[in-house]
Structure formats: structure tokens, C-alpha cells
Amino acid sequence: MRGDKASAAGEVLLRRLQRLVARAGSVRDSDHKQLVALLDDIETTRRGLMKECAEVEGQMRQATVRTTAIGAYLRNSQIQRGKRHN
């Protein structure tokens, strides 16, 4: 299922971010190459997480639209059967 796959990818990115944060604590200010590499890794991970967030938001929007459509279909079917919807 697509949602499970996205969730797994998000979990991997979050674990990677935790490792990067831990690594950031051990980097010395004088090690510029390692700092630049760390910043690049953090930015790449941040972009991945933002992409996952956007996908989840899109899935939530799609679920809301589907829920609204199902409700409208239900109300319409009840009206056609002569039942009133409160």
C-alpha cells in the first residue's frame, strides 16, 4: 500500500535526522569540511521530510474529498428512498 511505503520512508528519514543531530554534537568548530558535509546531509534530509509531509497532506486532502463524496452519495440515496436526513 502506498501509505505504508510513505510511512516507512518517513521513518527512515526521521532516524537519519536523529543520527545527523547526534553526529552534529561531536563535530568540532574547527572541522569545516565535516561541518559543510553535515549541513548538506541535514538539508537533504530536511527536503526529503518536507516532500513526505506534502505527500501526507495530499493524501489527507484526498481522503477528505472522498469522505465528502460518500456523505453526499448517502444523503442523495436516502432522499431518493423517501427518508429524510437530519
Mean pLDDT of the chain: 86
Residue 2 has pLDDT above 70, yes or no: no
Report domain extents, the chain. Answer: 2-80
Those residues whose C-beta lies under 8 Å from the C-beta of residue 34, and which sit 6 or more positions away, are 27
Assign residue 81 a region: left if phi > 0, alpha if psi is -120 to 50, beta otherwise?
A: alpha
pTM of the model: 0.67
Q: What is the pLDDT of residue 31?
A: 83
Sorting pLDDT into bands at 50, 70 and 90, what band is 29?
confident
Residue 86 has pLDDT above 70, yes or no: no
How far is the C-alpha of 35 from the C-alpha of 27, rounded, in Å? Answer: 7
